[in-house]
Amino acid sequence: MVVELISVGTELLLGNTVNTNASFLAEKCAALGLSLYYQTTVGDNFNRLEETLQVALNRSDVVILTGGLGPTQDDLTKEVAAKVMGKALVEDTHTKERITEYFNKSQVKTITENNWKQALIPEGAIVVDNNNGTAPGIIIEENNKSIIMLPGPPNELIPMFMEEIYGYLNKLQPEIIYSQIVKLCGIGESTAETMIQDLISEQSNPTIAPYAKVGEVHLRVTAKARDEEEAKKLIKPVVKELKARFGNNVFSTDENETLEEAVIKLLTKNELTLTTAESCTGGMLAARLVNVPGVSEVFRQGFITYSNKSKRKILSVQKSTLKKFGAVSEKTAKEMAKGGVFATDSDLCVSITGIAGPDGGTEEKPVGLVYIACYINDKVTVKEFHFKGNRAKIREQSVVRALTLLRECILDVYNK
């Protein structure tokens, strides 16, 4: 079954309001096994909305419209839907009573006349009560097509959809779609895809879709089945095969688990303490780590040693090292990592030093050159990176690579 989304509101076209409703509805429709091929945003214009709705009905079984159900003159959604479906607008007594009750509870003494506009419903339509506002949801069924109209405010739309519309759509589409994520780090998207090209070429149900993130690759395994239990059975052997192929590059199969959470979990499991020593990232690595609940058990201290003087004074980087090799060098990164461990008596220290730009680069040391080092068990591992992008992008990539190196070093020592 094919579903289509139409978001109504000039404020969406102008960028004044971020369209989070479309993202929410797309995700839920996918979970229901509905095929979503088109999303359209249209302003508060009768003719353009009418044209958009007619096109949608010609190519889709279900059209979900959001917004334009309010009391003002530019709220045109149900008026347009009624015209397209050849329905008259009639007053719904039940909705009018609910609007009155809503305003009485809000202690509004005078209800302006335009609010009763929200009680006008296309003849024969299904009314969906709004428990968080005044504009009801509306469903029109005609000629094996369904138009679903939902209020625009997310605090009204989301509960209405989950309480009423989800079940309605589920009856129209008995199959469900279920997916599981396999998150990778320390490997590029093209390499990851090459390693599973045979699985992708032969796939039918489940399917595997790779997505590139900053410093990560996410593989989404998706199955269509009668219910969640059956879908999980289809997915399980595929996830097992991915784990076997990617080994330690898999850092999580939990949709909500971040790379920093996986790292903190490793540190906690092995009872290790950590210090960070940052230059070009200016504390971004430490900030990501301290976002994780329970990090205080393992995180000893975070240093921001931006200047050469601070690198010498706090991390004991040798003056001769800075003079001969420079602040952005393999040697300096190593001494920063070692100095961080000894300054705090921690088990590990990861250090970052680089040129984030846009200035400061040379032919020998261009913008994007970053050295990341990790000290553990009297051994320092250092890696050289050449990142592309603007200053923010280079710093973000540096943090992700630092987390990846930290994780790799822990696994090398404690996962043998």
What is the gyration radius of the CA atoms in the chain, in angstroms?
Answer: 28
Cα separation, 290 vs 286, in Å, equals 6
Closest by CA to 351, choosing from 341, 360, 359, 361, is 341
Q: Are strands 348-354 and 274-278 parallel, antiparallel or unpaired?
A: parallel
pLDDT (tens digit, 0 to 9) for every residue of the chain, 416 residues total?
Answer: 899 999 999 999 999 999 999 999 998 998 888 889 999 999 999 999 999 999 999 999 999 999 999 999 899 999 999 999 999 999 999 999 999 998 888 877 778 888 899 999 999 999 999 999 999 999 999 999 999 999 999 999 999 999 999 999 988 887 888 899 999 999 999 999 999 999 999 999 999 999 899 999 999 999 989 888 999 999 999 999 999 999 999 999 999 999 999 999 999 999 999 999 999 999 999 999 999 999 999 999 999 999 999 999 999 999 999 999 999 999 999 999 999 999 999 999 999 999 999 999 999 999 999 999 999 999 999 999 999 999 999 999 999 999 999 999 999 999 86
Give the model's pLDDT for residue 105: 84
Q: Name beta bridge partners: 229.
A: none
Continuous segment of H or E residues that includes residue 121: strand 120-122
Q: What would the CATH number be for the domain defined by 176-252?
A: 3.30.70.2860
Considering the chain, tell me which residue range(s) the CATH 3.90.950.20 domain(s) occupy.
259-414
Give the model's pLDDT for residue 150: 98
Torsion of CA 350, 356, 359, 360, to 10 degrees: 20
pTM of the predicted model, to two decimals?
0.78
Give the model's pLDDT for residue 104: 86
Q: What would the CATH number be for the domain defined by 259-414?
A: 3.90.950.20
Considering the chain, tell me which residue range(s) the CATH 3.40.980.10 domain(s) occupy.
2-172
Q: Is 356 exposed, middle or buried (0-12, 13-18, 19+ CB in 10 A)?
A: buried
Give the model's pLDDT for residue 416: 62
Q: Which CATH architecture has domain 2-172?
A: 3-Layer(aba) Sandwich (3.40)
Give the model's pLDDT for residue 176: 82
Helix (H, G, I), strand (E, B) or coil at 32: coil
Considering the chain, tell me which residue range(s) the CATH 3.30.70.2860 domain(s) occupy.
176-252
Continuous segment of H or E residues that includes residue 140: strand 137-142
Count the Cβ atoms, other than its own, within 10 Å of residue 83.
18
